[in-house]
Structure formats: structure tokens, C-alpha cells
Chain A
Amino acid sequence: MNPQAFAYIAAGLGAGLTIIGGAAGIGRLAAAAMEGIARQPNAAGDIRGAMIVAAGLIEGVTFFALIVTILLAIK
């Protein structure tokens, strides 16, 4: 096997693992936010704002990893 094949395998596995992590994080976040809104509908606006910020932070870290996998795939 040449090293390029390993890079492609690593890129594919890395992208998958990244998505698992990001999806788990955002899933937990959304579940908690939904529960909060259901219990306290008056606070829906505040909760939604805080949820978007937290989702953005999780997404940012996920993109760090995705850029690494993209570099592995195209270099």
C-alpha cells in the first residue's frame, strides 16, 4: 500500500469521526434546549439565542477537524 492510500483512509475515517462528535454535541444541545423550551415556553427566545451560540462553538471545533481531513484528502 502506498502512503497516499493511508491518507485517504485517514481522511475518510477522520471525517466520519468528526461528524459523530459534532452530531453528538449538537444533538445533546438541541435536546436540552427543546426540553427547556417545553418546560418554560416564555424563555424560548433566550434559550434559542444561547443554543445558537453554543451550536456555533461546537461547529467551530468540528470544522477544525474537518479542515485537517480535507487537507489529508487533497494533499
Chain B
Amino acid sequence: MSALLLALLLQAAPAHAPEAVPGPAAGTTQAAEAPAPHAPADAPAAGAPGHGAEPGHGDPSTVIMHHVTDVPLKIGPVVLPSKHLVFFLLAMALVIALVQVAVRSYRGGNIPRGMGAALEGLVLFIRDEIAEPNIGHGDGRKFTPLLCSFFSFILVAALLGLMPFAATSTGNLAVTMGLALVSFAAQQYAGISKYGIAGHFHNLIPPGLPVWLLPIMIPVEILSMFTKPFALMIRLFANMLAGHMVITTLLLLISLMGQISWLGGVAMAPVSILLSLFIMLLEVLVAFIQAYIFTLLSAIFIGMYAHPAH
């Protein structure tokens, strides 16, 4: 619930941002001339005397929020309602196309070539290193397709977001919530399909627990049932958001230094570009690590419900 609130706050931020202080210079002049006791009134006043000609254009927080929040996508005359949705569908189509190409390479013989050989390694890695050890033999095979979908979608979506003019669809709380809900459903399905509903909930209590601990353990276990997918959701969202925010902030340093003096902007440019290039390379690594972590944690949680009390 609080995550939804966070999302709403993040979404609402650009609407409020233009009334923020444009720069440190305007803020100090305002503080010097009128120490107004009422806070809401002083923000527009700060913008008025200084260079308030372009509201929300040079303002760092507006630029950062515009970069990471969902905006309508304009391609020539066509205006699509949501950039994240476009790149979500693009990532989905890309994954499906890659898999189709991979499956096609298996026809006419048992030895895969090209894309099939490349994806076989990935699928085998997920089956043998993630699903089977964490969920168990037999059960692991059953959940491998789901885990492969998680891995490839998160990876493709994150890598798509690193391209110029693109957006990371997993940097949207709604998308990660969808992924986490699927993971939650898979966790519950793993327990319920094996032990039945009553058995599934009975398994939440570890065997041999003293009776007086039950009033504590039952709420805790039910709470942890929901916090697991919640943590999955926030982790992926924050990771995808943070990298883009850091890159934008580093590039904004150029214009911030340039506001002081043009020499500052020129001196800052190589430093900023090198640092953001470094973070960009780190983001490629993060894309793989986050896809791995989401898949692995999903597998571990599914395994917890499929084989309780280990």
C-alpha cells in the first residue's frame, strides 16, 4: 500500500516541480529580501525576481523526474499515451521473437544453431542452477518456464532502457508489481497444488513449535507471505530507477556548473561524461544481476512453499 503511495508521489512530482526554486542564486536573494513566515507563498516569489522565464526547464528535479517517470510518447504526429507501456510491449515482443527464432533452429535436427544455441545455455543455467537446487527435482522443472520468462523479460526490458530515447519499463512500479503478483501467485500455487489449501496454511507453522508462540507466529508468517513479493517489487523498481537517476544527475552537473560560469561547464563536461559512462556500464551489469536476483529469489520463495520446514 505504501508503495502505491510512493508511486503516486513520484507520478505527481512533475506537476509540483515548476514551483520549486530554480537555482541556488534565486533562493538566496529571496531569503535576503523577505523572510516570509508562510512557506507555500515563498516558492513562486523565489521564481519571480530571478530568471523565471523558463519554468521547469533548468530545474534539476524536473529534468530528473521527466527522465524517469512515465510520459506520453510522441513519434511525429502520433502521440502514444504511455512510453513505459510502449517499451513494455516492445520488450515482450522482443522476448517472444527471440524465443521463436531459437525454437525454429531446433527443427531439422537435434543440434541447435545460432540463437537456439545461445538461449539453450541460458535456459539450462536457469533450470540447473536456479530452479532445480532451490525448488527441488521435479518441481524445479515445472517452474522453469516461468523463471525463464522472468529472467528474459527483466533482462531485455533493462537493456532496452539503456538505449537512447528509450525508457525502462521495469522502472515503473506498476510493471514490477505485475511481475511480483505473478511471482506471488506462483508461490501460493506451489504450496496449494501440492498440499491443498488447508495443508498449505498448516505448513506455514514450523513443526514442533510451542503452542504459546502460535499467536506470534501466525501473523508473522502471513505477513511474510506478502512482504516477499513486496520486496521483490521494490527492489527491481528501485534498482532500475536509481541507475537512470544517477546518470541524469551526473549529466545535469554540467549545466549546474555552467550556470555559475561557462568555464565551469566546460571543465565539468569530461568528468561528467566519463562518470556517467561508468555508471552506464554498471547498469549493463545491474541488468543481468537484477534479472538473476529476481529469478533466484522467486525460485527460493517457491521452494519454501513447495518444501516447507526444511
A and B part of one assembly: yes
Give me the interface of A with B, judged by CB distance under 8 Å.
Answer: 2-4, 49, 52-53, 56-57, 59-60, 63-64, 66-67, 70-71, 73-75
User: B16 in the interface, Cβ–Cβ < 8 Å?
Assistant: yes
Determine whether the beta carbon of B13 is less than 8 Å from that of A75.
Answer: yes
Among B13, B21, B234, B296, contact of A64 (Cβ-Cβ < 8 Å):
B234
B interface size (C-beta, 8 A): 32
Determine whether the beta carbon of B234 is less than 8 Å from that of A63.
Answer: yes
User: B64 in the interface, Cβ–Cβ < 8 Å?
Assistant: yes
Q: B129 — which chain A residues lie within 8 A by C-beta? A: 49
Query: With A3-B39, A71-B9, A74-B65 in contact, is A63–B297 under 8 Å at CB?
Result: no
One digit per residue, 1 when the CB lies within 8 angstroms of any chain A CB and 0 when it does not, for chain B 119-133 equals: 000000000010000
A to B CB contacts below 8 Å, 28 in the list? A2-B31, A2-B36, A2-B39, A2-B42, A3-B39, A4-B21, A4-B39, A49-B296, A52-B289, A53-B297, A57-B231, A59-B235, A59-B239, A60-B234, A63-B235, A63-B238, A63-B239, A64-B234, A66-B238, A67-B234, A67-B238, A67-B241, A70-B245, A71-B6, A73-B61, A74-B20, A74-B61, A74-B65
Determine whether the beta carbon of B296 is less than 8 Å from that of A53.
Answer: yes
Tally of A-B residue pairs with Cβ under 8 A? 57
Determine whether the beta carbon of B297 is less than 8 Å from that of A56.
Answer: yes
Q: Which residue of B lies closest to A2 (CB)?
A: B39
Nearest 8 pairs between A and B by C-beta? A63-B238, A60-B235, A56-B293, A74-B61, A3-B39, A2-B39, A74-B13, A60-B231
Query: With A53-B293, A75-B13 in contact, is A60–B39 under 8 Å at CB?
Result: no
Q: A2 — which chain B residues lie within 8 A by C-beta? A: 31, 36, 39, 42
Among A3, A4, A63, A75, contact of B16 (Cβ-Cβ < 8 Å):
A75
User: B242 in the interface, Cβ–Cβ < 8 Å?
Assistant: yes
Interface of B is mostly: helix
Q: Which residue of B lies closest to A46 (CB)?
A: B133
Q: Which residue of A lies closest to B16 (CB)?
A: A75
User: B115 in the interface, Cβ–Cβ < 8 Å?
Assistant: no
Q: How far is the CB of B217 from chain A (nearest CB, A)?
A: 22
Q: Which residue of A lies closest to B35 (CB)?
A: A2
C-alpha spacing A70/B237, complex, angstroms: 14
Q: How far is the CB of A18 from chain B (nearest CB, A)?
A: 11
Q: A56 — which chain B residues lie within 8 A by C-beta? A: 235, 289-290, 293, 297
Q: How far is the CB of B301 from chain A (nearest CB, A)?
A: 12
Within 229-256 of B, Cβ neighbours of A (below 8 Å) are at 231, 234-235, 238-239, 241-242, 245
Q: How far is the CB of A57 from chain B (nearest CB, A)?
A: 8
Determine whether the beta carbon of B39 is less than 8 Å from that of A74.
Answer: no
User: B153 in the interface, Cβ–Cβ < 8 Å?
Assistant: no
User: B292 in the interface, Cβ–Cβ < 8 Å?
Assistant: yes
Query: With A2-B42, A63-B239 in contact, is A75–B289 under 8 Å at CB?
Result: no
Q: How far is the CB of B90 from chain A (nearest CB, A)?
A: 26
Query: With A2-B42, A53-B296, A74-B17 in contact, is A60–B238 under 8 Å at CB?
Result: yes
Q: A73 — which chain B residues lie within 8 A by C-beta? A: 61
Q: B296 — which chain A residues lie within 8 A by C-beta? A: 49, 52-53
Determine whether the beta carbon of A67 is less than 8 Å from that of B235.
Answer: no
C-alpha spacing A67/B31, complex, angstroms: 29
Q: How far is the CB of B299 from chain A (nearest CB, A)?
A: 11
Q: How far is the CB of A12 from chain B (nearest CB, A)?
A: 13
Q: B6 — which chain A residues lie within 8 A by C-beta? A: 67, 71
Q: Which residue of B lies closest to A53 (CB)?
A: B296
Among B64, B239, B242, B289, contact of A74 (Cβ-Cβ < 8 Å):
B64
